[in-house]
Amino acid sequence: MPQNDLMARSIPTSRRAPQEETSMNQHSMTVRGKDRYKSGVMEYKKMGYWEPDYEPKDTDIIALFRVTPQDGVDPIEASAAVAGESSTATWTVVWTDRLTAAEKYRAKCYRVDPVPNSPGQYFAYIAYDLDLFENGSIANLSASIIGNVFGFKPLKALRLEDMRLPVAYVKTFQGPATGIVVERERMDKFGRPLLGATVKPKLGLSGRNYGRVVYEALKGGLDFTKDDENINSQPFMHWRERFLYCMEAVNKAQAASGEIKGTYLNVTAGTMEDMYERAEFAKELGSVIIMIDLVIGYTAIQSMAKWARRNDMILHLHRAGHSTYTRQRSHGVSFRVIAKWMRLAGVDHIHAGTVVGKLEGDPATTRGYYDVCREDFNPMRLEHGVFFDQHWASLNRLMPVASGGIHAGQMHQLLDHLGEDVILQFGGGTIGHPMGIQAGATANRVALEAMILARNEGRDYLHEGPEILAKAAATCTPLKSALEVWKDVTFNYESTDMPDYVPTPSVAM
Amino acid sequence: MRITQGCFSFLPDLTDEQISRQVQYCLEKGWAVNIEFTDDPHPRNNFWEMWGLPMFDLRDAAGVLMELTECRKVYGDRYIRLSAFDSSHGWESVRLSFIVNRPKDEPGFRLDRHEVAGRNIRYTTMPYAADRPEGRRYGGS
């Protein structure tokens, strides 16, 4: 339906719920037979979009929405409206429904629960038949699920919290071009997080100066350096200059260390043709990795993932722009959904939060994102914001990236929160080192190796972390000086996005 | 120079006791530890020579340390690394790898630059030691 029709529609006052709360999850109200198709307007919950007895099929896609109805709007009706408007419904009854297997195509809201401790908000569970979606297309999936409903007038706010993607649908996607296992084999790096840094300043360095930062950081001990999201091709540094000098730096650092190194060459550009051209040049130069920004769009991301698989390239995704719709708890799309879509779409790296750094990230919620990226099966864990069991059917694992305001002194906390299959990116924490970039990189690498060694030895590294670092610093001046400079840097702010469920201690059996 | 492949190359060389604790960690995870050696440390030389098969079904790190001692007696002038393999589904790959023996002198790598069209350069990394035949690279017989 055209957007305008939807915007123009409102629920007449006569239909609004009585003052007392409708009891949730009552029986079906669906009108059946001839009456269902009488011309005119009918409540969504009577049109077949509210089916509390419906049991989702294994092949259904399930979406969980946080629905905030306008004052006085029945939450069941609001939730049924979301189901309707994200599948077959329009604002009025249409007879052409009767030319179709309409009951199959109707999304069915089958459960509505009040959100704990959030008056006026409801979790609506909506099941969609697999036939509503095109194989292997995030564009189609997202157009269906979030394409039409978020501006719906009877709602104050709407948030897509989570999705259950059936194996039958997962299997239609390529998934990460490389995956964690192959990335590690290709990079020849096992048993520890990988280390990276974003070149700073973000803007203004010439290609030659930029390559200098890359060389120093890689030679000092990092595995990767990275272009920032807005480093594309600007007057101060056109992309070919950057690529050429970066690859000189990578190869020189590789020879100096005997290790495989990489730098994420950002191929983000205004058109697909330009992106392919840049990616081809990166390949020609022997780069092991390229990067793209989330803002290029889902289809462009999937195209680049297919290109990366065909060309033996690791594909890094910078989640540029995601906070515009992921951060607020009441409206938008949760990042856990974006992470699921990106695993399907086929990127190899995704920024997924640091917990301790400068950017938003509650520990439990972040843990949920990391699980979505890295596990083959995600069990429902409400305390991590994971609402559904999710099987990934051996789709490649996606390496999460922790970036933004982290430093060597937090190594024990980072390892504890984020585990070992992660890329830790210390931009300022490398380049801002008082003894220089190489020293900054060395400090991070020594801190990391010392922490892994201690963890594997069975030490309580989280609590003994500062002690372990201090001991490693005794034989490593760069680490000593890093610990001194950043010892008091923490970012303790209230999170804006946290799980709604908190585990309650139960008696151990 | 010091080749920094493997998990712990930025730390001082591990003592046998430290090596043993890492091996024990691997065994407790159910991983099979393998000893490998080479005198061609090129970063893309994936297949170092195997000192026997990966030690499946081993419980005690002492078994690996015994083999390592034997390996060092024969190939003490080369790079030796321990790699731990995880056979569980979804991994089926190396989970930890670190160098446990190095040649006394590590000459490192030469970077050859071959200038081609435009400003493009083709790079080749060559271990200096590889100029000599295998087995005679680090002062070996």
Please list every residue in chain A whose beta carbon sits closer than 8 Å to the beta carbon of residue B109.
Answer: 254-256, 258
Q: Which of A287, A449, A475 to mutate to test the interface with B (most CBs of B within 10 A)?
A: A449
Predicted-complex ipTM score? 0.97
Contacts with B66 (C-beta within 8 Å, 6 or more apart), sequence order? none
Q: Tell me if residue A407 is catalytic.
A: no
Q: What number is the average pLDDT over the span B3-22?
A: 98
Q: How confident is the model at residue A15 (pLDDT cuts 50, 70, 90)?
A: very low
Using CA atoms, how far apart are residues B86 and A176, in angstroms rounded to an integer?
Answer: 21
Rounded CA-CA distance A160/A332 in Å is 6
Query: Which residue on chain B is closest to A191 by alpha carbon?
Result: B96
B128 has a chain A CB within 8 A of its CB: no
DSSP of A110-132: EEEEEPTT-TT-EEEEEEE-GGG
The yes-or-no verdict on residue B7 having pLDDT over 60 is yes
Contact B93 A445 (CB under 8 A): no
CB contact set of A243 (below 8 Å; sequence gap of 6+)? A265, A278, A281, A282, A285, A287
- Distance in Å, alpha carbon of A248 to nearest chain B alpha carbon: 8
Task: Verify whether the Cβ–Cβ distance B95 to A191 is below 8 Å.
Answer: yes
The whole-model pTM stands at: 0.92
Q: Distance, in angstroms, between B68 CA and closest chain A CA?
A: 19
Mean pLDDT of A41-58: 94
Q: What is the pLDDT of residues B76-100, one digit of tens each?
A: 999 999 999 999 999 999 999 999 9
Confidence of residue A10 (pLDDT cuts 50, 70, 90): very low
Inter-residue contact B82 to B94 (CB < 8 Å): no
DSSP A106: S
A with B: how many residue pairs have Cβ under 8 Å apart? 110
Query: Minimal CA–CA distance to A371: which of A390, A346, A393?
Result: A390
- Range name among A110-119, A343-352, A499-508, B66-75 with the lowest pLDDT average: A499-508
Summarised one tens digit per residue, pLDDT across range A32-43 is 888 888 888 889
Spot the catalytic one: A316, A318, A349, A417. Answer: A318
Please name the helix (run of DSSP H) or strand (run of DSSP E) that holds residue A220, with its range, or none: helix A207-220
Chain A residues touching chain B at CB-CB below 8 Å: 181, 184-185, 188, 190-192, 221, 240, 244, 247-248, 251-252, 254-260, 284-286, 376, 394, 397, 442, 445-446, 449-450, 452-453, 456-458, 472, 475
Cα(A429)–Cα(A408) distance, rounded to whole angstroms? 7
Residue A302, pLDDT > 80, answer yes
pLDDT in tens, A230-255: 999 999 999 999 999 999 999 999 99
Phi, psi for residue A478 in degrees, rounded to 5: -55, -40
pLDDT of residue A89: 85
- Strands A314-318 and A332-333: what pairing? unpaired
What pLDDT shows up at residue A53? Answer: 95
Q: Which residue has the tokens 């340390």?
A: B65
Low-confidence winner among A87-91, A150-154, A481-485, A503-507 (lowest mean pLDDT): A503-507
A16 and A72 Cβ atoms separated by less than 8 Å: yes
Residue A210 is encoded by which pair of tokens?
């930029």
